[in-house]
């Protein structure tokens, strides 16, 4: 969900207004995903290195997250009518107590829902996810939960923060052609990757449909390549 600040600057607004616009675009995109039968959606809401931004902007993002997590869990039509389950993914120890409590509230409020799963990556980085999984492998070996002979790709993957199923499509908005430390492990397993030259708040249903159609056209080739990797 990249491009919120540039979206605001382009309209000569403060950066915080871009983040608010980005939240409302997320709500709309989730509606589209739900209507199209998408079962799992992961969004990169806040990178760990975003803590390097100005204290004012970080505080604005944290305040927005605290209020919107509760709003999503309590008042969102997607949650109320369609049973969306919210999961907050990342290194929560870096968050304030208030945001941690909001994340816990959203998860507990929706934990029994059986609709679309929404993974909100906040704060997250792929390298932190992978290093955390490695530490868990080491801990499980030390405690006897895992044997040395059992250490393999699946053992590491099962300890990642973002659960399966395999990633089908990865979309980055704003025109930047880079991963920015997002879902690196998941992306290498033949995910269909699209970089879209539009700011996140301007991301439209047309953009989404074009991506889905192009993925469908490439689907057979993707499956063939996956089989070759096995």
The token duo for 174 is: 């704003």
CA distance linking residue 166 with residue 186, whole number of Å: 7
SS3 66: helix
Annotated catalytic, 221?
no
* Active-site annotation holder among 49, 50, 140, 142: 50
Annotated catalytic, 2?
yes
The token duo for 148 is: 């040395």
Q: How far is CA 12 from CA 9, 58, 206, in A?
A: 5, 20, 26
Show the beta-strand stretches assigned E in the chain. Answer: 40-44, 85-89, 117-121, 169-172, 192-195
* Active-site annotation holder among 2, 4, 113, 119: 2
Strands 192-195 and 169-172: parallel
The token duo for 20 is: 């608010």
Cβ atoms within 10 Å of 70's Cβ, excluding its own: 16
Known catalytic residues are: 2, 50
């Amino acid at each position: 969900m990249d491009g919120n600040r540039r979206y605001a600057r382009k309209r000569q607004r403060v950066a915080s207004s871009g983040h608010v616009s980005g939240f409302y675009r997320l709500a709309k995109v989730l509606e589209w995903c739900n209507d199209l039968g998408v079962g799992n959606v992961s969004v990169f809401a806040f990178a760990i290195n975003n803590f390097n931004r100005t204290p004012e902007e970080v505080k604005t993002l944290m305040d927005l997250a605290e209020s919107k997590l509760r709003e999503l869990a309590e008042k969102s039509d997607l949650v109320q009518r369609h049973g969306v389950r919210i999961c907050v993914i990342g290194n929560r120890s870096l968050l304030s107590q208030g945001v941690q409590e909001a994340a816990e509230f959203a998860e507990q409020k929706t934990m029994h829902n059986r609709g679309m799963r929404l993974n909100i990556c906040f704060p997250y980085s792929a390298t932190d996810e992978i290093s955390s999984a490695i530490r868990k492998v080491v801990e499980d070996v030390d405690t006897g939960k895992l044997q040395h002979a059992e250490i393999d790709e699946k053992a590491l993957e099962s300890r990642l923060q973002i659960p399966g199923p395999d990633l089908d499509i990865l979309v980055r908005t704003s025109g930047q052609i880079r991963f920015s430390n997002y879902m690196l492990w998941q992306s290498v397993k033949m995910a269909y990757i699209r970089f879209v030259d539009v700011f996140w708040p301007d991301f439209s249903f047309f953009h989404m449909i074009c991506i889905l159609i192009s993925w469908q056209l490439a689907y057979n080739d993707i499956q063939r390549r996956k089989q070759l990797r096995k």
